[in-house]
Each structure stands twice: as structure tokens, then as C-alpha cells.
Amino acid sequence: MHEKLLAALGTVNDPELHRDLVSLGMIERAELTSGVAHVKVNLTTPACPLKATIERDVRQAVMSVEGVQDVEIEFGAQVRAQSTPALPGVQHVIAVGSGKGGVGKSSVAANLAAALAASGARVGLLDADVYGPSIAHMMGQGAARIAANAERKMQPIEAHGLRFLSMANLMPAGQALVWRGPMLHSAIQQFLKDAAWGQLDYLIVDLPPGTGDVQLSLTQTVQLTGAVIVTTPQDVALIDASRAIDMFRKASVPVLGIVENMSYFVAPDTGLSYDIFGRGGASRLAQQFGGLPVLGEVPLDTEVRQDADAGMPAVLAHPDSAASRALLQVAKNLAGRVSVQAFAGALEPLPMV
């Protein structure tokens, strides 16, 4: 019966990888007990955007096997690393960047990290905006201080189910950091290689605006899985976002997609939608660069700002708001893109457990 179940499951394709679950090694268990088929599927990410589709197709395929009266499906997840490991124990390093400030890049980075962690992934968040660090405040840990562990490595601070590091937790509050390029490079290297990140599926790096020293240091220090570009729909933001995309391409870093932040505003009293900064700019930018994915459009929402000021990512504080739903979908789309890229050059399936 095990072989019959596997044969049926071999007809189910992962919707994004376009290969069957059996050859991908995603079926951990398939057995029949008293007419009930017990199937465990290991997804390629806890934040799989098409989990419901896979569940439906698995159920339909298994129910077609003679003797099966019901199906119980259990899901696990095993995030596959890229071919070249990013850091010891870290499967993927993903940069979140923008061409200019004021587009909500840090807010998007913090909420993406929190959303991925809430899905069950092991997540780290690095605040690489050294001159203007804000992640510590958004995580509600502005007063915390980074300590060293027994191996004299920086111990990331834990909050909201993830680990993070920020220059704000090393400097006195309100003190300006006056550093030249070489010191920035050294700081980025230390945050990446002299920190006890442990085992992570995703390390999200919140970059400063622009295309300067920190961006170059990051691409030279670690093998990035890819970059996410955050922009608002207005032309002045899109012009600078295009420069950020060009910089990553010149550094041979894949651009995983674009997020259109503050895409529109829905008035809470009337329900009317207003395109304050225009709309659809990310789609135009994506087409300009050959059809890059648009990971999502996030509306302008005062709760996102209020939650950030209160030290709680909006996806956790108000998960049912329109902005949070959009951010949660962006996180799923991003995780899916990373999985597809990780499998693109893979010759071997995930190991069976």
C-alpha cells in the first residue's frame, strides 16, 4: 500500500517548482491504517504561499487509491539552502533595500521578518542602517544592550520570535555615529561573522537608503540569496529604486521582487480608496527591468506606524488589518521565490527523514 500511495502522490506537483512531491523528496511519510491514509508533507518553507493548493491536490490524489476512506495530512517544512552557504548555520541572507529614504523600508523589513517567524521559520533580522538604526525601537527593545557569549561573539537580542542586532543597542540613545567607510565595513563584517546567529532559515538585512558603502560591504562579505526593493508608487521614489536594482544587478545579486509600500489609502470613515502617491509604480518598474516579480502592494495604514512606535510589528499586533494581510502575503511570496531559486540548480531532492 505504501507504494500505491507514493504512486498517487507522484502525480502531485509543487505548483511553484513544477515537479512532483515524491521526486522532490517532500513526502516524509505515507501509510494506510484502517482505511485512513496518513501523509506528512515537508514544504520547502513554513511560509509556503500555496500550501492550501498542495493540501487539496494531495487529498484528491490519495483519495483515488483503492481502500482509502479518509486522509490525514500533516505538514512540516525544510528550508533548502542555496548552493553556496551564506553563513554557517544560515540558509539564506536577504537584503531589503531602497533607493531613497522615507519609503517605509525598515517597517517592511521588520514586518517581513516577524511574518516569517510567525509562520514557524527560524529568522534573524540585522539592522544594517548604521547611521539611522530603527529596528531596535520597532522590536520594542530600544533599551536593551548587546552582550557577548562565552565564545566572545555578539549575542543577538530576541523579540517576537526572532533574533536581531542593531547599532542602536550598542550606542547611547540619541548619540550620532560619525564613521567613515572603512569603519562601516568593519561593523557589517562583525554583525555578520562575529555574531552568534545560530541556525536560521532566513536572515533579513535592513539596508540604509541608497547605494553606498554598506550595500557594497554586504555584497562583498556574504553570499546573498537576493534582494527585495521597497518603493512607493511616486516617480521620485521609482527613479531611485531603479538605481538600487541596477546596483544589485551589477553586484550579481538576484532581485527577488519589488514591494510597493503606501500603495493606496482607504479612509476608515468612508471606505473610499485614495492613491495618495499614485499607484502601480512598482508594476511599471518591474516591467522596466524585464518583468521582475511584484511581491505585493501594501496600503498606507496608521496602525503600521502606531505599532512600530509601540515596538510591535503590525503583522503581530493587528494581523487582520489590510496592511498586515498585504505584508503577510508579501512574506509568503518572498519565501516562495527563495524556494524556487534554491531549487533551480538543485540536482538532488531533499533527503527523506
Residue positions forming the annotated binding site for ATP: 99-106
Cβ proximity of 65 and 176 under 8 Å: no
Q: How far apart are CA 335 and CA 338, in angstroms?
A: 5
Torsion sign across C-alpha atoms 353, 343, 111, 200? positive
Q: What is the DSSP letter of 244?
A: H
What is the helix, strand, coil percentage profile of the chain, to 5? 35, 25, 40
Q: How far apart are CA 68 and CA 6, in angstroms?
A: 13
Burial tier of 252 (Cβ tally within 10 Å: 0-12, 13-18, 19+): exposed
Question: What is the Cβ-side half-sphere exposure of residue 232, based on CA atoms within 13 angstroms?
Answer: 19
Query: What residues are designated binding site?
Result: 99-106
Q: Which three cell numbers stand for residue 145?
A: 544592550
Q: How far apart are CA 189 and CA 157, in angstroms?
A: 18
Identify the CA nearest to 94 among candidates 201, 226, 186: 226
